Amino acid sequence: MTHSVAMLALDGVVGFDLGVPPQVFGAARADDETPYYSVTTCGVGGLPVRPERGGFLVTPDHDLTPLASADTVLVPGVSGGSTMVDGRVATEVTDALRAAHERGTRIISICTGASVLAAAGLLDGRKAASHWAWAKRLRRLYPRVEWDFEVLFMDDGDVLTSAGVAAGADLCLHVVRRDHGSAVANRAARRCVMPAWRDGGQAQYIERPVPAAHGTGTEQTREWALGRLADQVSLEELAEHARMSVRTFTRRFRDETGMSPRQWLLRQRVGHARLLLESTDLSVDVVARRSGLGSATALRQHFQQTVGVAPSAYRRAFRHP
């Protein structure tokens, strides 16, 4: 039988998150082209909703009624709505989501759609994923949720959540794989011209700029060290450049950056390695030396720990000819 998916479109819905699931689920078909899924869109009162950007309206085909019978309920990301501002959601939405969950319906969210599930109380005590850029706000609004902003998606059995935007496609494909196996999921991925599986998690996409500091302090020494990443600069040399004792420099450095000098240097070296992998054809050995990590083995180890994927996999994903 066809598996029914009901998407909940709320004001501020992310257009990409709303458009991708029908494509991925629609591409999952049997050998005779029989579709495995049917996807419908519903909303409060069936009224039009305005996506976060794009200058258009979305008119759902239904009110919240499909949530009462769907096999899977999917909540796309939202932007600027109450669940991302003050942690509230309409009572009728909460009631419909809780009733669906209690009935045994699988619940899925994409990106900040997790805030809707959290506001409805469905993520309390659960592990959940969402977009890394909203980590601080979501942790503040929903402290009972065990947030993980490193993974692309989180499968917690009957409730599944994903990171932002394209990670929603990864989650939908994971659902297809879980329901019908790798062969069906791989065919669906090819139909959608997307990878059947992405290595790693969000760590490879998170922006980690150098924390800014102004006036006296360690800022000039950090700029000096950034020009010498390939060299093995010692803590004593950093403190000497800043004209401080090692103890004072370490304390001041941690106050300004939130990490120790050694941790900061490692992060900058991995960041420089990322840049070299993205923008050059240098071998992994050369990238390791130029970024100050020494050897290809050390680069792979630190890259895996920090970014979540191997240098070669990262280069395949981000290298532009």
| 73, 6 Cβ separation under 8 angstroms | yes
pLDDT, residue 271, reads 84
- Band the pLDDT of 200: cuts 50, 70, 90: low
Question: Does the pLDDT value for residue 295 go beyond 70?
Answer: yes
Residues 6+ apart with CB under 8 A from 242: 218, 220, 221, 249, 252
Residue range 117-164, pLDDT digits in tens = 999 999 999 999 999 999 999 999 999 999 999 888 999 999 999 998
Tokens for 185, please give them: 């999921």
Question: Does the pLDDT value for residue 216 go beyond 70?
Answer: no
pLDDT, residue 210, reads 45
- Band the pLDDT of 211: cuts 50, 70, 90: very low
Q: How far is CA 41 from CA 64, 68, 75, 79, in A?
A: 9, 13, 10, 18
Question: Does the pLDDT value for residue 212 go beyond 60?
Answer: no
Question: Does the pLDDT value for residue 176 go beyond 80?
Answer: yes
Reduced to 3 states, what is the DSSP secondary structure of residue 106? strand
If one counts every other C-beta atom within 10 angstroms of the C-beta of residue 24, the result is 25
- The larger pLDDT score, comparing residue 213 to residue 2, is at 2
**Roughly how many angstroms between the first and final C-alpha of the chain, as a whole number?**
46
The DSSP output letter for 4 is E
**Mean pLDDT comparison of 12-16, 107-111, 316-320, highest-scoring range:** 107-111
DSSP run (H or E) holding 23: helix 15-26
pLDDT, residue 40, reads 97
Section 246-273 average pLDDT: 88
| 108, 101 Cβ separation under 8 angstroms | no
Section 56-62 average pLDDT: 93
Please tell me whether the overall predicted TM-score, pTM, comes out greater than 0.85 for this model.
no
